[in-house]
Amino acid sequence: MDAQAIAKALENKKAGQFFTIKMRRPAKVFKGVTETVEKETEMQGILCDYANRGPVKAAVASGERDEPETPSWVANVYKLGNVKFWESAKGETYLCVPTTGNTPKVQWYLDGQPVDKADVQHLLLASENPKPQDKAEMAEKGQVAFNAIKVDNILEVR
89-114 confidence digits (pLDDT tens): 999 999 999 988 788 999 999 999 99
Number of domains making up the chain: 1
Q: Which domain holds residue 25?
A: 3-157
- Cα–Cα nearest to 19, from 113, 107, 95, 89: 95
pLDDT at 132 over 80: no
pLDDT at residue number 95: 96
Cα 17 → chain centroid: 16
pLDDT at residue number 43: 95
